[in-house]
Chains A and B, each alone.
Chain A
Amino acid sequence: MSAETLFTTPLNALHRELGGKMVEFAGYEMPVQYPAGIMAEHLHTRDKAGLFDVSHMGQVKLSGENVAAALETLVPGEIQALKPGRQRYTLFTNEEGGILDDLMVTCFTDHLFLVVNAGCKAEDIAHMREHLPSGVTLEVMFERALLALQGPAAKDVMNRLGPKGAELTFMGGARVEIGGIWCTVTRSGYTGEDGFEISVDEDKAEALARLLLEQPEVMPIGLGARDSLRLEAGLCLYGHDIDTTTTPIEAGLNWAIGKRRREEGGFPGADIILDQLKTGTKRKRVGIRPEGRAPMREHTELTDASGKTIGEITSGGFGPSVGGPVAMGYVDTALASEGTEITAMVRGKALPARVASMPFTPHRYHRG
């Protein structure tokens, strides 16, 4: 894809001004890092607060009568019980029980607010338009930017600039005025830290980003550290750790299948997914800790002691807060228990690793 055809976010000029190293991601030109570098950006987010531009993600508003019940026909999450001001993680599934995308749904009094992955948004929107009943209105919020403020000091920043936002608890959402700019704020994120995702009109996005960056705790963070932070937090990256060939149960996302939905089904692939929930799966997503210092990256083959293939790494790299390599991937269920010794084939060499529990760094969400 040539530079001319890339989409940009409302913060593109700011990224350049800040010295962002711009790369292509999901059709957008995005900063992979700033001059501080991925390591410093990652550690700063865990220590204080980082500001991420995630405006490439898709923001969609669904409204209409019985909108929650309508959305439930496409996802296994409990959406009807979601109260206004509460948010939930869920999945678009297909008839084979595979995952079309993962998304966040926030309930507001008169609509549902969805955030979907950048790389899937066109397909997601087409999927919803095709399958949701005509009584549901789908509005793509093209004119919105999305910022994430993540880290233990994010609450201090929010308390200073938009105190109503700091009153939210994990997976809560509200309309909040931040420095005089009206935003839709949720207390959530993709780093394992406490923090906020802030949806804002695109013409106010740069002013808001500058205001947040002026705060002494806040540093701009690129996609490189976003990836290492979410990997340490054990969170799935769509297209890598989950996709149409993995089911929610194989991925260990059983908690995303609502209790009532387990009884009632009524979402694509329910027969397969609910059967796997009862009887288990042949393979499972697990955390993996290499024993040495060599990172084990996506597509690294995993074997047992005899050399038989048992799975593959789907995300892997160096964890700056862990101070060593971390990975996740799928292995045969018989070898999925914590502490199991496995082998990874790295550049033709068999290197030792162990199945490990995730997250690699403890989640520090504000549950109130």
Chain B
Amino acid sequence: MTRKYTEDHEWLEIAGDIATVGITDYAQQQLGDVVFVELPSIGKKVTKGGDAAVVESVKAASEVYSPATGEVVEVNSDLEAAPNTVNDDPHGKGWFFKMKLSNSGELDSLMDEAGYKAFVEGLA
């Protein structure tokens, strides 16, 4: 399994043609307390950089973009009752959705963990 990261602070864990998508620890820290997550419907076609989900903190709503093109095959419906899981375990139990990738070539442009770490340090 491989982890990749986007400049919009999403992570993907890739296993074959299925990717699990969530937001990074940096992203959840920036958002603050997550109070609501709107997940995509299963079967939704998503495109790289397009809207996929919404995450809301006390203060504001933010879009979660799809890091790749494909179709949503599973969503983490536990987040509906416990949205704060995104704060508590962003890289684990706080995942948002799983998608079937339709173009694995798109993943080449994403960052690996070291690349993302350097990217975040560059934002400080």
A40, A42, A228, A318: the one contacting B36 at CB < 8 Å is A318
Return the CB mask of B32-62 against A: 1 if under 8 Å, else 0: 1101101000000000000000101111110
Given the contacts A38-B33, A293-B80, A317 and B38 also touching, CB distance less than 8 Å: no
A325 close to chain B: CB less than 8 A: yes
Q: Contacts of B36 on A, CB cut-off 8 Å? A: 293-295, 318, 325
Partner of A39, one of B38, B54, B58, B60: B58
Q: Is the CB of B32 within 8 A of A33?
A: yes
**B44 CB, min distance to chain A CBs, angstroms:** 14
User: Is A295 a contact of B61 with CB atoms below 8 Å?
Assistant: yes
Q: Are A42 and B54 in contact (CB under 8 A)?
A: no
Q: Is A64 an interface residue (CB 8 A)?
A: no
Residues of A within 8 A of B60 (CB): 297
Alpha-carbon gap, A224 to B57, bound state (A): 11
Known: A38-B58, A38-B59, A295-B61. A318 touches B32 (CB 8 A): no
A297 to B58, CA, bound (A): 11
Please report the C-alpha to C-alpha distance between residue A272 and residue B97 in the assembled complex, in whole angstroms: 55
Q: From B33, which residue of chain A is reached at the shortest CB distance? A: A39
| Bound-complex Cα distance A280 to B36 (A) | 37
- Check if A37 sits within 8 Å of B61, measured CB to CB: no
Cβ-defined contact, A32 with B80, below 8 A: no
Tell me the minimal C-beta distance from B52 to chain A in angstroms.
13
How many residues of chain A are within 8 Å of chain B by beta carbon?
A: 20
CA distance A322 to B90 in the complex (A): 25
Given A293-B80, A297-B61, A38:B32 Cβ within 8 A: yes
Q: Are B38 and A347 in touch, CB under 8 angstroms?
A: yes
A295 touching B32 by the CB < 8 A rule?
A: no
Which residues on A sit within 8 Å (CB–CB) of B80? 293
Q: Please, which residues of chain B bring their CB within 8 A of the CB of A295? A: 35-36, 56, 61
User: Are B56 and A224 neighbours in the complex by a CB distance under 8 Å?
Assistant: no
Q: In the complex the two chains form, is B33's CB within 8 Å of A32's CB? A: no
Interface residues of A in 315-361 (CB under 8 A from B): 317-318, 320, 325, 347
B87, closest chain A residue (CB): A37
CB distance from B33 to the nearest CB of A (A): 4
Q: Are A37 and B35 in contact (CB under 8 A)?
A: no
Q: Would you give the shortest CB distance from A364 to chain B, in whole angstroms?
A: 21
Residue of B nearest to A227 (CB): B59
- What is the bound-complex CA distance between A37 and B32, given in angstroms? 6
Q: Do residues A42 and B58 form an inter-chain contact, with CB atoms below 8 A?
A: yes
Q: Given A38-B59, A295-B61, does the pair A347, B54 have CB atoms closer than 8 Å? A: yes
- Contact call A224/B32, Cβ cutoff below 8 A: yes
Cβ contacts under 8 Å, A320 to chain B: 33, 58
Question: Which one of B32, B33, B56, B57 lies within 8 Å of A294 (CB-CB)?
Answer: B56
Contacts of A227 in B (CB 8 A): 59
In addition to A37-B33, A42-B58, A297-B61, 16 A-B residue pairs with Cβ atoms within 8 Å of each other are A33-B32, A38-B33, A39-B32, A224-B32, A225-B58, A227-B59, A293-B36, A293-B80, A295-B56, A295-B61, A297-B60, A318-B35, A318-B36, A318-B57, A320-B33, A320-B58
Instruction: Name 8 interchain pairs, CB-CB below 8 A, sorted by A.
Output: A37-B33, A38-B32, A38-B57, A42-B58, A317-B58, A318-B36, A318-B56, A318-B57
